[in-house]
Structure 1
Amino acid sequence: MPTHSPFLRRLLAAAVAAGVLAASAQADVIAATNPSAIPAQAKARKDTIVGAISAPQGIFNPYLFSNGWDENVTEVIFGRLVGLDAQGKLRAEQAESWQVSKDGLQYTLKLRKGLKFSDGSPFTADDVAFTLTFLHDPAYDGGTDISLAKIKGGDAYKAGKASSVEGIKVLNPQTIQITVTEPGATTLQLIGGPVLSRAWYGRGYQPGKLDDLRQYSSKPLGAGPYIYDKFVPGQEVRFHANPYYFAGKPAVPNFIYRITSDATKLQLFQTGETDLEGFSINADNIEQLKALGFANLNIYNSSDYSLIEFNHNKPALKDVRVRQALTYALDRKKLVDVVYQGYGSVATLPLSPVSWAYDTKGVNPYNFDPAKAAALLDQAGWKLGSDGIREKGGQKLVVTLLATKSLFNDALIPIAKENFKRVGVELRPEVSDFNALLAKRKAGNFDLATFRTSGLNDPHDGVARFRSTENEVGYKNAQVDKLINAGNGTLDIGKRKAIYHQLYQVLANDAPLILLANRKLLYVNSSRIGNYQPDVFNGIFGSLPKLKIQY
């Protein structure tokens, strides 16, 4: 078991009291009624489990991906030093234990004995030091903001003023010590993430030049439960069991991610071509899946939220009145009712109701109000033209919306088009696959973009996108930056909750995006698969190494 300092024990106790370890993290299970109905095609697959994934891009590095589906692949390959259990408590994985000094400024992580990467090479504290140093590289542009950890000397290294990061110290092959300049609520999870092999990823790597390191994104090497075999775009990602996995080689020799879509997933599961799948949650899907007889249904609260992002670099959207108007103009309750049929709610905060930081008191909910939307657009100088579309300075108020093909967006697009037209705004949807959406977004070729966040384990995860240093769409607010940093800068749950409550009020008033929905999740597994227990903190990954084939 991990060794916690009194500092961390107090933090965990406070989290329990605040409700972070809520029962809502657990799944409600509707058990299969007729396992004998398992399709013959699935029964014939004696040594392989097939899961489902939507749109991997092929960048399989836990610190360089830009696509959440690629992140799902890296979870299979890499594992973590420190993870979370099904209740959200810190869990020792590749790190055997950790200690934190009383002042919260020094972390000492001890690795498990005999750790190896999946090629059999040693996994040591040098690899951890290499990973953390790489995250401070001047050219690093991935999604992990290691600056939040406040590692001593990190800024100097990133600025090219030092040849190493002062606060990273390897004590021996099994032990690494990290010194930080400020306590941080997310520090342990930041320094306890996936580890890159220095021998593999460090070949040819030079600080400030990431091209050599990036080339290994298509040839990943990790220490997780399964080893990467190959990626066939549009079809599948294949893996085989890692004999060097710290918890023992998984019992099932092979794992496959089959690429599915809303249009194909039910058929593939029904015919036995997949064993694990996620579905949009609604009464129709639940009844269809129950009727199969061989499906176990797992229903639990998600920790993500869906959204419409504004491109703040576009002149019309720089005006907060326009952003507020578009939020009031959208009937989000109708959207949630149509899509989730009682298994979702309109999102008011940039986090899930399962979080201990959830508090909507005093936060503008932006209830559907076309009259208020129209008044705000009038105030912003956008006047109705003869064709019913607003104009200002000879420019029509026409906005593009980047979206992917999905059941959610199939409902969102017509509702949004109708709602926006009612207040004099023309919406032009551009539907593409997720990777094309990301490319357009990165190039800035959009007004609005809709997608869903990854799972959020800490309230900081839900607001990090609003920091000026991390925001990719031009949003800047000094007060927001200050509150985000303050919320991550203390480990006192009570103080954090008060800071986030203030932050949510500021964000609501500034309307940097349109929050859409919180939802429940529906994951199913064929009853031929045992030990499958998805949870809000880990999804399928907490179960993956322990899965077994029963039939």
Structure 2
Amino acid sequence: MNIILKGLTAVGLAVAVAGLTPAIAETPKKGGIFEYGVKAGIPTYDLQGSNSYGTLHRTEQHYSLLVTFDWKNFPKIVGDVAESWKISDDQLKYTFKIRKGIKFHDGTPLTAQDVLASYNRLKDPKEGVISPRKAYFKTIKQFSAPDDYTFIAEFSEPFAFGLNLFATPYNPIYSKKDTEKPGNWHHKNINGTGPFVFVEHQPGKKWVSKRYEDYHFDDVHLDGTIAYKIKNITQPMIGGQIMAEMRSVSPPEKKTLQKEMGDKITFHEKPTLSVWMVTLNSAFPPFKDKRVRQALTLCLDRHKGLDALSKITVTTRRTGYMLYGTQYAQSDADLDKQIGFWPDIKKSRAKAKKLLKEAGHEGLKFKYTNRAVAHPYDQIGIWLISQWKACGLNPTMETFPSAKYKSIRSKGGFDTTIDWNAAFLPHPMLMLAKYQSTSFNPINFSRNEEPEIDEMYRKMNATLDPAKVKIMAAEIENKVLDDAWFLPLGYFARSVPMLSKIKGYHITYTHAANNDWRGMWIDD
């Protein structure tokens, strides 16, 4: 499939992709169980506190948002638990009117107090609660709920990302009473107002849900869903155990499925807004020397090397932290001037060796911590080891199951590790948030403090002129590239395999979104 990058939206979406199958208006049929596969385990049930697709692909179906994207007409925003909203002329105050009659799955009525508790939990989590996207809320002055059906968000300064903040797909509405329970109740419990009710979790086997009959919209056609824990995609798809895998297949897997299943399978494809990277641990003594960090990025062949890698796994050509071809991304010519992106790999590696010698770290030994998920982790890991060895470095790779890997990454128990940053819009507010100081953003797993970047990021988010935002985004990106705590490896090339009889699905720019299965049906 040819991917076309062109056109802009009001929020800077410059990606337009030709789908494989034209949309045909059909009357949805009610009934059936949507059975899909998830390769990753589930590290937590807490949707607000996770950036793992193992959590997102299982739990988004149980929750509602304040407002949401209309995935058929993306990036249009429509109401979810909010039925309407008003934005003040100075863009500092957002007032939402909450729908009446919505109930949580345990029967508790939803009010603005639940919305308030949910957003306060995201902005200022209590001890024991993780909020990976806490940095998104730095310019919030306060949240309030003056009555049971009015929720107000007040900003301290204009916020370029605006209403999109409240449509973020992993900021669900929790019940106030649940947020007040001791510890992190949501780590092992589910109670939302979404289209499907949690039934059971058999660890290592399956996650079962059923349709919520009191859901506040009428577009839920499936009787229920089962998410099976799988080790690979092709065998369960060909054997009929699963109908889809919502993350992606690799190019070799796609070829096998096409050969074995023919027109019984459809591939929904788009580039995603998830950038792969290597994160360096600021606690590892050699990495305190910037020359060593820069050497590691200079060793990587981001031209021919990444192009070759993209042919065997779900990665793309070279890119910075902003997705190539989108409104706020730098041109290839400008990016190729940055350290680690020079077209001449011999020149880059010669510079890397020189820096390592100056720093006294020729032949440096270090560990690369990987995740035990086949694509693209194995392929990226093998590629990285070979690239670093070409500079005379001595890395070793250790691989762990998803839950243990995430624990190691979050606790800083690595030298270097595979990492990523996922967004649902190609906007620098999302795509550059990760690189702030770890005290502001807990998903900065390098654990370094960057007050200069923090201030640059704050100023960018308060700037409403897109042309100025693009300049500021490039300045942030180039500084982060030069600091070399995060080594970008390209974006995620997504191809979702799905039985052709599954209808009503709309692929998004991230596998972290549109996983509530609304509008989907089975044409049996």
TM-score interval w.r.t. the shorter chain?
0.7 to 0.9
Distance in 1 of aligned mates of 2:80 and 2:222: 20
The worse-fitting range, judged by mean Cα deviation, of 116-125 and 102-111 is 116-125
Task: For 2:316, give the aligned amino acid.
Answer: S
Partner of 1:230: 200
Distance in 2 of aligned mates of 1:376 and 1:549: 55
How far 1:310 sits from its partner (Å)? 0.8
Pair 1:54-2:32 in alignment = no
Pair 1:128-2:120 in alignment = no
Partner of 1:28: 20
Partner of 1:160: none
Contact 2:421 2:434 in 1 (8 A): no
How far 1:459 sits from its partner (Å)? 2.1
Distance in 1 of aligned mates of 2:80 and 2:186: 24
Distance in 2 of aligned mates of 1:513 and 1:411: 19
> Considering only aligned residues, what root-mean-square deviation do their CA atoms show, in Å?
2.9
Distance 1:77 1:343, change over 3 A: closer
Contact 2:295 2:353 in 1 (8 A): yes
Contact 1:20 1:356 in 2 (8 A): yes
Distance 1:19 1:215, change over 3 A: closer
How far 1:380 sits from its partner (Å)? 4.4
Distance 1:28 1:424, change over 3 A: same
Pair 1:297-2:264 in alignment = no
Task: For 1:132, give the aligned amino acid.
Answer: Y
Distance in 2 of aligned mates of 1:400 and 1:518: 23
How far 1:72 sits from its partner (Å)? 2.9
Pair 1:400-2:367 in alignment = yes
Distance 1:289 1:411, change over 3 A: same
In the alignment, structure 1 segments of 5+ residues that lack a partner are 1-13, 32-44, 153-166, 205-211, 385-389
The worse-fitting range, judged by mean Cα deviation, of 427-436 and 486-495 is 486-495
Task: For 2:418, give the aligned amino acid.
Answer: T
Query: 257, 261, 281: which one pairs with 2:227?
Result: 257
SS in 1 for 2:242: coil
How far 1:187 sits from its partner (Å)? 4.9
Contact 2:295 2:356 in 1 (8 A): no
TM-score, normalisation: structure 2: 0.85
Distance in 2 of aligned mates of 1:15 and 1:346: 21
Query: 53, 71, 93: which one pairs with 1:68?
Result: 53
SS in 2 for 1:99: strand
Distance in 1 of aligned mates of 2:46 and 2:84: 25
How far 1:341 sits from its partner (Å)? 5.3
Larger radius of gyration: 1
Query: 226, 246, 253: which one pairs with 1:285?
Result: 253
Contact 1:129 1:169 in 2 (8 A): yes
Distance in 2 of aligned mates of 1:79 and 1:95: 10
How far 1:137 sits from its partner (Å)? 4.0
In the alignment, structure 2 segments of 5+ residues that lack a partner are 1-6, 24-29
Query: 391, 414, 421: which one pairs with 1:423?
Result: 391
Contact 1:323 1:513 in 2 (8 A): no
Distance 1:115 1:493, change over 3 A: farther
Figure out how many residues of one structure are paired with residues of the other and give that number.
491
Contact 2:282 2:447 in 1 (8 A): yes
SS in 2 for 1:346: coil
TM-score, normalisation: structure 1: 0.81
Contact 1:351 1:456 in 2 (8 A): no
Q: What are the residue-to-residue correspondences of 1:346-361 with 2, within 5 Å?
A: 346-353=317-324, 355-360=326-331, 361=333
Partner of 2:3: none
Distance 1:494 1:222, change over 3 A: same
Contact 1:118 1:243 in 2 (8 A): no
Distance in 2 of aligned mates of 1:112 and 1:145: 26
Task: For 1:402, give the aligned amino acid.
Answer: T
Percent identity over the alignment is 21
Contact 1:325 1:374 in 2 (8 A): no
Distance 1:417 1:93, change over 3 A: same
Q: What are the residue-to-residue correspondences of 1:249-398 with 2, within 5 Å?
A: 250-261=220-231, 264-278=232-246, 283-291=251-259, 292-293=261-262, 294-332=264-302, 333-340=304-311, 344-353=315-324, 355-360=326-331, 361-363=333-335, 364=338, 365-367=341-343, 369-381=345-357, 391=362, 397-398=364-365
SS in 1 for 2:432: helix
The worse-fitting range, judged by mean Cα deviation, of 251-260 and 131-140 is 131-140
Contact 1:398 1:427 in 2 (8 A): yes
Contact 1:335 1:415 in 2 (8 A): no
